């Protein structure tokens, strides 16, 4: 009788809890599944990244002498279902118990809870120790608080791990947060150093032809394919980021530039989320760069905050509020999702640019996700489920635990303020300040109601006016409503009529 250790596609870490006491008599099961590859229509680059990383991880385990049962997508016996494949291997291998690390998504958590009852073989579900805050710890932190603000969670995490903390217990540099230094507009001609491209071995080449054959109808370009698919390669990318890009990460964190998908961002989210890199080591390496005088504090603090703060915080929010979280829709947003999120066929240059980055790289950086595609979805009241489905499908780093709080909570304020203290709503002026997109747009970011006015401007005010009942008590928005109330009734009417026209144009495919 043997243990069956089931490893999922985002559990590719040798320190995984379900591999901790693995022996050479155990069976390690990994399967490429149609079920997982199509529960949303994932970007082909994301599928290729995961399959290739899974195959490489399986090879590494085999090279250490472990018995790995790896089921490829084109195995003629592959049923495409996690449950059926697990049952098949249980039957074939005289399994006494299934050992698995808790899944990152609620959907599979439910599946495993059913397995406890009806699999017929005991299942041992272990905590995912790769995260820096356990679900219980987060709930304890949240317990007595009225507002769950990331900033306070982050400070506690800094203290817990001692990142950027001096011997007297004070934060390095005397402040917890250096974001004031991090909001620079893009200087003219800003571009970023060339990114690393990894050689494709036979495993990746096989996966690319498989994905081309089976998933080319999904949104997104499979090639060129530059992703790291092993921990070794991901570490090389991380080292490159720390050396060449981290020093400027803070300065240009919120900047958007035509044709520059990555700028000074790290591009490591897919590797962290699949387990090729671990959050603790990434924060340690970043702090070392600061201590060695290789990167400034504003950059390193900002970068560590994303991983130690935001990443752990969104996971905490997800597990604390699921499954109810997925059903929230604070503004009752139901507007059908427009086609240009798939085609980039819109006169709004900023949206077209963000969609093109997404299509070509399965990536766009945070500000594009939040302040361009997310902001537009918020202002126009796009259907929250359709918006979330898009974000879950199109990014190579997307898993529901991290996508949902970011999309529903942060971008759409669909949770009514569990995550954010106010909606991240912005007019075209913000996009104009932080990017060079507007220079190439047929709309004018300085106009609100003229025929060529930037759609974001009237939509912004219309959103505020439309949702006044839900937002006017929010003291962080009092300046917005006092400005709105100073507009003459004629001006208010003209703005709202213009916004109605914009939404009509969107429905008619004319925006």
Binding site for ligand DLZ (CB under 6 A): 8-10, 31-33, 36-37, 42, 47, 50, 103-105, 108, 399
Q: Where are the alpha helices (DSSP H) in 17-81?
A: 34-38, 44-63
- Residue 181 or 505 with smaller CB distance to ligand FAD: 181
The stretch near ligand FAD (CB under 6 A) out of 31-39, 199-207, 395-403, 437-445 is 395-403
Q: What is the CA radius of gyration of the chain?
A: 24
Q: Cβ 31 to ligand DLZ, closest distance in Å?
A: 6
Backbone torsion region of residue 165, taken as left when φ is above 0, otherwise alpha when ψ lies between -120 and 50, otherwise beta: beta
# residues near ligand FAD by CB under 6 A: 27
- Residue 16 or 434 with smaller CB distance to ligand SF4: 434
- Residue 206 or 444 with smaller CB distance to ligand SF4: 444
CB 179 within 8 A of CB 309: no
Per CB under 6 A, contacts with ligand FAD among 328-367 are 365-366
Indicate the helix (H) or strand (E) that contains 267: none
Binding site for ligand SF4 (CB under 6 A): 348-350, 428, 431-432, 437-438, 441, 443, 445, 454-456
The neighbour count for residue 188, using CB atoms within 10 Å, is: 5
Contact partner at residue 268 from ligand SF4, ligand FAD, ligand DLZ, none, CB < 5 to 8 Å by partner kind:
ligand FAD
Q: Cβ 451 to ligand SF4, closest distance in Å?
A: 13
- Residue 281 or 446 with smaller CB distance to ligand SF4: 446
Residue 293's alpha-carbon distances to 171, 265, 305, 504, in angstroms, are 17, 20, 19, 54
- Residue 105 or 260 with smaller CB distance to ligand DLZ: 105
Q: Cβ 148 to ligand DLZ, closest distance in Å?
A: 23
Contact partner at residue 9 from ligand FAD, ligand DLZ, ligand SF4, none, CB < 5 to 8 Å by partner kind:
ligand DLZ
Q: Cβ 334 to ligand DLZ, closest distance in Å?
A: 27
Report which DSSP code applies to 444. Answer: B
Q: Cβ 19 to ligand FAD, closest distance in Å?
A: 22
Instruction: Report how far residue 238's alpha carbon sits from residue 283's, in angstroms, rounded to the nearest whole number.
Output: 11
Instruction: Report how far residue 124's alpha carbon sits from residue 121's, in angstroms, rounded to the nearest whole number.
Output: 10
- Residue 318 or 399 with smaller CB distance to ligand DLZ: 399
End-to-end CA distance of the chain: 63
Contact partner at residue 415 from ligand FAD, ligand SF4, ligand DLZ, none, CB < 5 to 8 Å by partner kind:
none
For the chain, how many residues are written?
511
| 391 counts as binding ligand FAD under rule CB under 6 A | yes
CB 352 within 8 A of CB 431: no
- Residue 222 or 263 with smaller CB distance to ligand FAD: 263
3-state secondary structure of 50: helix
Nearest residue to ligand DLZ, by Cβ distance, number only: 9
- Name the β-bridge partners of 160: none
Tokens of 106: 């609620």
Q: Cβ 312 to ligand FAD, closest distance in Å?
A: 8
| 388 counts as binding ligand FAD under rule CB under 6 A | no
Convert residues 253-292 into a mask of x (bound to ligand FAD by CB under 6 A) and - (unbound).
------------xxxxx--xx-------------------
Instruction: Tell me if the bond preceding 221 is cis, omega within 30° of 0.
Output: no
Instruction: Report how far residue 85's alpha carbon sits from residue 79's, in angstroms, rounded to the nearest whole number.
Output: 7
- Residue 54 or 459 with smaller CB distance to ligand DLZ: 54
How many helical (H) and strand (E) elements, i.e. helices and strands, does the chain have? 24, 5
Instruction: Report how far residue 51's alpha carbon sits from residue 207's, in angstroms, rounded to the nearest whole number.
Output: 7
Instruction: Report how far residue 505's alpha carbon sits from residue 510's, in angstroms, rounded to the nearest whole number.
Output: 5
The residue ranges that bind ligand FAD (CB under 6 A) are 265-269, 272-273, 306-307, 310-311, 314, 365-366, 369-370, 374, 391, 395, 397-398, 402-403, 406-407, 410-411
């Amino acid at each position: 009788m043997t243990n069956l250790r089931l490893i999922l596609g985002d559990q590719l870490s040798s320190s995984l809890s379900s591999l901790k006491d693995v022996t050479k008599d155990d069976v390690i099961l990994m399967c490429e599944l149609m079920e997982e590859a199509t529960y949303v229509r994932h970007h082909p680059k994301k599928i290729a990244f995961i399959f290739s990383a899974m195959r490489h991880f399986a090879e590494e385990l085999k090279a250490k002498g472990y018995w790995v049962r790896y089921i490829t997508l084109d195995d003629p016996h592959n049923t495409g279902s996690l449950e059926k494949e697990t049952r098949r291997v249980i039957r074939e291998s005289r399994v006494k118990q299934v050992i698995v690390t808790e899944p990152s998504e609620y959907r599979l958590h439910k599946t495993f809870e059913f397995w406890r009852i009806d699999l017929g073989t005991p299942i041992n579900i272990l905590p995912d120790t790769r995260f820096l805050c356990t679900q219980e710890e987060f709930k304890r932190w949240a317990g007595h608080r009225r507002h769950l603000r990331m900033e306070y969670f982050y400070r506690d995490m800094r203290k817990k791990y001692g990142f950027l903390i001096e011997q007297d217990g004070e934060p390095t540099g005397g402040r917890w947060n250096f974001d004031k230094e991090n909001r620079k507009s893009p200087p003219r001609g800003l571009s970023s150093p060339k990114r690393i491209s990894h050689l494709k071995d036979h495993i990746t080449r096989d996966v690319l032809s498989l994905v081309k054959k089976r998933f080319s109808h999904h949104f997104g370009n499979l090639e060129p394919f530059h992703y790291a698919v092993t921990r070794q390669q991901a570490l090389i990318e991380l080292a490159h980021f720390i050396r060449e890009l981290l020093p400027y990460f803070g300065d240009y964190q919120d900047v958007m530039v035509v044709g520059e998908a990555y700028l000074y961002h790290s591009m490591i989210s897919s590797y962290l989320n699949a387990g090729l890199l671990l959050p603790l080591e990434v924060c340690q390496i970043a702090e070392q760069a600061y201590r060695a005088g290789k990167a400034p504090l504003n950059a390193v603090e900002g970068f560590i905050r994303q991983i130690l703060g935001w990443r752990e915080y969104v996971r905490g929010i997800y597990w604390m509020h699921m499954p109810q979280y997925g059903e929230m829709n604070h503004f009752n947003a139901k507007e059908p999702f427009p086609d240009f999120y798939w085609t980039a066929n819109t006169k709004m240059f900023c949206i077209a640019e963000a969609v093109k980055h997404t299509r070509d790289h399965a990536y766009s950086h945070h500000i594009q996700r939040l302040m361009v595609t997310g902001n537009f979805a918020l202002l126009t009241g796009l259907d929250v489920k359709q918006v979330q489905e898009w974000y879950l499908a199109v990014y190579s780093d997307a898993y529901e635990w991290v996508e949902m709080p970011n999309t529903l909570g942060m971008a759409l304020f669909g949770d009514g303020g569990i995550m954010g203290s106010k909606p991240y709503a912005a007019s075209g002026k913000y996009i104009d300040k932080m990017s060079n997109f507007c220079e190439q747009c047929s709309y004018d970011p300085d106009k609100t109601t003229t025929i060529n006015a930037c759609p974001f401007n009237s939509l912004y005010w219309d959103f505020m006016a439309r949702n006044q009942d839900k937002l006017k008590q929010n003291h962080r928005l009092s300046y917005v409503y006092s400005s709105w109330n100073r507009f003459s009734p004629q001006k208010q009417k003209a703005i709202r009529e213009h916004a109605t026209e914009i939404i009509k144009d969107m429905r008619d495919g004319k925006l």
